Amino acid sequence: MSENISVLGLGLMGAALAESLLAAGHHVTVWNRSPAKADPLVAQGATRAATPAQAVEASPLVIVCLLDYASVKEVLEGAPLAGKVVANLTTGRPAEARDLAPWVAGRGAEYLAGGIMAVPQMIARPGALILYSGSEQAFDRYAPALAAMAEPRFTGDDPGMAPLLDLAMLTGMYGQIAGFLEAAALVGSAKYPLGEFTSSLLVPWLTAMAAQQPAWAEKIESGDHSTVVSNLEINRSGLETLVRTFREQGVKPDLLLPMKTVVDQRTARGLGHEGLSSLIEEL
Q: How many residues bind ligand NDP (CB under 6 A)?
A: 21
Among residue numbers 8 through 27, which ones bind ligand NDP (CB under 6 A)?
Answer: 9-14
**Contact string (CB under 6 A) for ligand NDP, positions 32-51, x = contact:** xxx--x--------------
Residue 119 CB, shortest distance to ligand NDP, in Å, is: 4
Report if residue 116 touches ligand NDP, rule: CB under 6 A.
Answer: yes
Residue of 120, 156, 179, 272 interacting with ligand NDP (CB under 6 A): 120
Closest residue to ligand NDP using C-beta atoms: 11
Asked whether 45 and 23 are in contact (CB, 8 A), the reply is no
Enumerate residues 138-197 that contact ligand NDP by CB under 6 A.
none
Pick the piece of the chain touching ligand NDP (CB under 6 A) from 19-27, 63-71, 131-139, 239-247: 63-71
Closer residue to ligand NDP (CB): 13 or 148: 13
> Which residues have a Cβ under 8 Å from the Cβ of 63 and sit 6 or more positions away?
5, 6, 7, 8, 14, 17, 21, 87, 89
Q: Which range of residues in 64-72, 126-134, 183-191, 206-214 is near ligand NDP by CB under 6 A?
A: 64-72
Name which of 174 and 205 has its Cβ closer to ligand NDP. Answer: 174
Question: Shortest Cβ distance from residue 104 to ligand NDP (Å)?
Answer: 17
Considering only 6, 47, 88, 91, the residue that binds ligand NDP (CB under 6 A) is: 91
Residue 1 vs 43, nearer CB to ligand NDP: 43
For position 67 contacting ligand NDP by CB under 6 A, the verdict is: yes
Asked whether the beta carbons of 83 and 141 are under 8 A apart, the reply is no
Residues binding ligand NDP (CB under 6 A): 9-14, 32-34, 37, 65-67, 71, 74-75, 90-91, 116, 119-120
